[in-house]
Amino acid sequence: MIHNELPRPPALPDGAVRIFALGGLGEIGRNMTVFEFAGRLLILDCGVLFPEDSQPGVDLILPDFGPIKDRLADVEAVVLTHGHEDHIGALPYLLRLRGDIPIFGSRFTLALLEGKLREHRVKTAVTRVIEGERLQLGDFDLEFLAVNHSIPDAMALAIRTPGGTILHTGDFKMDQIPLDGRITDLNGFARIGDQGVDLLMVDSTNAEVPGFVSSERDIEPVLDAVFLRAEGRIIVASFASHVHRIQQIIDVAALHGRRVALVGRSMVRNMGVARDLGFLTVPGGIMVTVDELAGLPDDQTVLICTGSQGEPMAVLSRIANRDHPISVGPQDTVVLASSLIPGNENSVNRIINGLTKLGAQVVHKGNALVHVSGHASAGELRYLYNVVKPRNVLPVHGEWRHLRANKAIAVGVGIDPERVLLADDGVVVDLKDGIASIVGYVPVGYVYVDGSSVGNVTENLLKDRIVLGEEGFITIFAAVDMIESTVVAGPEMHARGLGVEDEAFGDIIETVRALLEQSLGDGVTEVHELQQRVRRVVGKWVNTQHKRRPMIVPVIIEG
């Protein structure tokens, strides 16, 4: 059923657990899930989504806090699975609404969060948890499980309540030989499965990908070959949180006698945190500043920077656009050591083409194994289902094609299709007596951050921005005398972004003048009505004459 056809959810029955997402279903990003039992709320993750080209001017997209805004006093805690922006990035905005919400997360997750909170000038208490730990928060009995992911210290979470047991995988994969030796806790998954899992919430990102994800260690010989071939500088773009990938680059650089510099504020900050906490090991003497690197021969240098997703203000994008002190040429090799986040394909392709045009050799996932995903593929998901043996399944973290593929995997291992639920943001699922069912919908939307503005950008405003960017705009100014029913000044017309000179408006200006005089003569004295009539006639003219649909802004004043 389409979510807007669902009714408002009924009151939560006694002994039932309620689950609904404020972001993160049907999309990759904005992850935030609310669990409710006996009037108390537990929040899992609070992340952001990054804008697409169809959302001009938007900096970040937040989960919609609306459904819980009046219930923040009922929140027991926010629990974080790991430190990626799509899981922690919106937390400062939630804490603006209630600053004393208890926050729980792993050591590296909290270290990244604390830097973010300082930036936002938000102070709150945080509590570190470790894998294997159990924690009682009201009626929520939490157990934390270690999982592999593309960031250190990631966790899965078992939530035991009197209404049932829920197991949430977080973002995970099953690398059997991870770089840090911290494997996904399959024993823990199996143990909790044997005890009985009423609802399994499963990462769906790679559900369409067959088999198992390659190990991080499989990348090392590929990187070694890239370093062997490189004649000049090597520039590596990666996620600023992918400590394991940066560790690999540093290790290979040391093997080949190259010095390394980090470029980009988030890269420098995050790797500093990782190094201080012992998650990143750096051989002595290998790290230098960008200025020091400039004094070394190109074949002895490596730059590690941000911008692997084509972000316009990130270092790699600025290099490709020749808008950065660092430039590239025919002797340079650029490595994009990351996978594509859906929606970023065009931006990344522009970067690849820009760098190639400048003569650089560009190595990326499309032509070399320089990245492996942090999310479980179909084989790993199938394995998980067989280990946990859940009564009900709710695929999470993915676009709709990923959610459906995940459901097909669950059904394929013998789980009743009726017990595998597909939900959108705002869809409410109740778990009672071992049965999960969709019971309603709470309205949720996108909350846009535009500079210092939060929530003031609407869908209509975004449409206006798109029209302005793609079709341009026309302004029409006129002053009228309502008593004499005459036009006393103008009309004047000007266009921007339309590709039409103002001189081309001669005929339509006379038509607008005649329209205004006729409307005034007919007794139309409402300025808004006059503006609407002008907008319609100009819109019809520009569409007929120039096949364009610009924004039309009439300004009519009483002279």
Phi, then psi, of 286 in degrees rounded to 5: -85, -30
Strands (E), 172-252: 199-203, 234-237
Residue 109 has what pLDDT? 97
**Exposure pattern of 468-484 as b/e (b: 16+ CB <10 Å)?**
eeebbbbebebbbeeee
Determine the 3-state secondary structure of 89 from DSSP: coil
Question: Locate tokens 């009672």: which residue?
Answer: 432
The 10s digit of each residue's pLDDT in 287-299 is 999 889 888 998 9
Q: What is the pLDDT of residue 369?
A: 82
User: What pLDDT does residue 312 have?
Assistant: 58
Give the pair of three-digit tokens for residue 140. Answer: 């929520």
* Residues paired with 302 in a beta bridge: 234, 260
**Contact (Cβ atoms closer than 8 angstroms) between residue 388 and residue 189:** yes
DSSP letters, 424-468, are -TTEEEEEETTEEEEEEE-----EEEETTEES---HHHHHHHHHH
Q: Give one DSSP letter per residue of 489-518, joined into a string.
A: EEEEEEEESSS--GGGGHHHHHHHHHHHHH
- Cβ density class 250-265: b for 16+ within 10 Å, e for less: bbbbbebebbbbbbbe
Beta-sheet strand order (sheet of 393-396): 134-137, 140-146, 155-161, 164-168, 199-203, 393-396
Give the residue from 334, 356, 256, 261 showing the smallest Cα distance to 300.
256
Residue 148, token pair as written in the block: 């592999």
Strand pairing report for 134-137 and 140-146: antiparallel
Q: What is the pLDDT of residue 1?
A: 44
- Residues recorded for the chain: 559
pLDDT tens track for 175-210: 999 999 999 999 999 999 999 999 999 999 999 999
Q: How far apart are CA 36 and CA 21, in angstroms?
A: 12
List all residues 6 or more positions away from 504 whose beta carbon is below 8 Å from its beta carbon: none
Q: Which residues contact 486 (CB under 8 A, 6 or more apart)?
A: 480, 517, 520
Here the tokens at position 374 are 């942090």
List, in sequence order, the alpha helices (H) in 120-200.
Answer: 186-195
Q: What percent of the chain has pLDDT over 90?
A: 57
Among 463, 466, 470, 477, residue whose Cα is nearest residue 538: 477
Residue 46 pLDDT: 96
CB 432 within 8 A of CB 15: yes
DSSP 55: S
d(CA 529, CA 524): 7
Spell 285-300 as b/e; 16+ CB within 10 A means b. ebbbeeeebeeeebee
Spans of the chain below 50 pLDDT:
1
Domains parsed from the chain with CATH numbers: 17-211+373-454 (3.60.15.10), 216-363 (3.40.50.10710), 471-558 (3.10.20.580)
Q: What is the pTM of this model?
A: 0.82
